[in-house]
Structure 1
């Protein structure tokens, strides 16, 4: 499995392009803005994109999707089943903070705990991690975790937005993410990459509870 990070938008959201190098099939995780730029990176890699996966449905993880969908009309958007209310509620998707246009998401499929997203011969497993939002998810395969806004380097995602819960956030990190092997590399929705082992030792927010 290969991946690159494309920081996008005013909030520097980490969009990830992840692919099977042999099959040249891939997915896009959290295309928060600058869809044309993400498309250019996909074209450079000569990839076929099968899915766009939203770790949660906040505007800064979503708005680049619509341009990508126009370029790859057969791709399917994937979102947690528990995140569906945010698809139709601007207060939950935080659209009041967005400076770009928004269209209703259509043709999507929903994800639940343990579901696998396959592209080529690669797979990522869904881990439900409520806290930042009710329907936040992370994506995992051995050695790699795409953590969305659940776990950051030295911190966690905000929990004070609609649908957020500090208690759920900490429980998600401690009871799910911190049970992964210490050498698991963590690629978050914002900021630098880290590892599970490092965060278990040094994440002051999680360790304060």
Structure 2
């Protein structure tokens, strides 16, 4: 499986067989990668409902006519039936940014939580949000914000944007049971999977 990163409010990824992970990058940028590499987009797979991961959801769905796959626990937010909010102090968001920080809504076609979907292992990693999930395939983990990258190293998401940090720490420990070669995070650069055991050990030591 070949993977391209498309930068935006968060990282979006596109695979050579037509899966887009997260909608933080705009549809034009994703279309450019798809066109240049003759990729037919079939699904857009969301890791969670935060605005930086659903910003261009409806535009991407309309552009490609693809199906939306999303965490079961966050469908109401993604579809716009319930307002999805980041855990963040209002004072940290300038008033001019509030209108920008609104993601697009779209009908969810497939709800997932745990198990298998189209060759991906779906892993429920609550903490950053209640329904946060990661997708694993061929040793490649699309971690959403359950794991991010800082200065070449793995990191947990910022506490200011995370619903339950204790749960976020406990969730990533589940990744010990999987063979992970590469990690493609929601923010930051790709990280080699060999760094994961050491990172998890530091979390274990802090308990």
Q: TM-score, normalised by structure 2?
A: 0.81
Q: Greater CA deviation, 38-47 or 190-199? A: 190-199
Match of residue 54 from structure 2: 62
Select the structure that is richer in strand.
Answer: 1
* Unaligned 5+ runs, structure 2: 88-92
CA positional deviation for 1:65: 2.1
* 8 A Cα contact 1:155 1:204, kept in partner: no
CA positional deviation for 1:200: 2.3
* 8 A Cα contact 1:31 1:38, kept in partner: no
1:126 counterpart = 2:125: no
CA positional deviation for 1:201: 1.2
1:84 counterpart = 2:75: yes
Q: Say if 1:99 and 1:30 are closer, same or farther in 2 by CA, change over 3 A.
A: same
Match of residue 23 from structure 1: none
Distance 2:156 2:27 in 1: 26
1:194 counterpart = 2:191: yes
* 8 A Cα contact 1:178 1:196, kept in partner: no
Summarize deviations over 1:153-182 as a string: whole Å, max 9, x none: 3311234447x21121111111x112223x
The number of residue pairs the alignment matches comes to 192
Q: Say if 1:179 and 1:204 are closer, same or farther in 2 by CA, change over 3 A.
A: closer
Summarize deviations over 1:46-76 as a string: whole Å, max 9, x none: 1111110110011111112222222212x11
Distance 1:39 1:134 in 2: 31
CA positional deviation for 1:104: 3.1
* 8 A Cα contact 1:3 1:16, kept in partner: yes
* Unaligned 5+ runs, structure 1: 21-25
* 8 A Cα contact 1:156 1:205, kept in partner: no
1:15 to 12, 23, 26: 12
CA positional deviation for 1:113: 0.3
CA positional deviation for 1:125: 1.3
Match of residue 28 from structure 1: 20
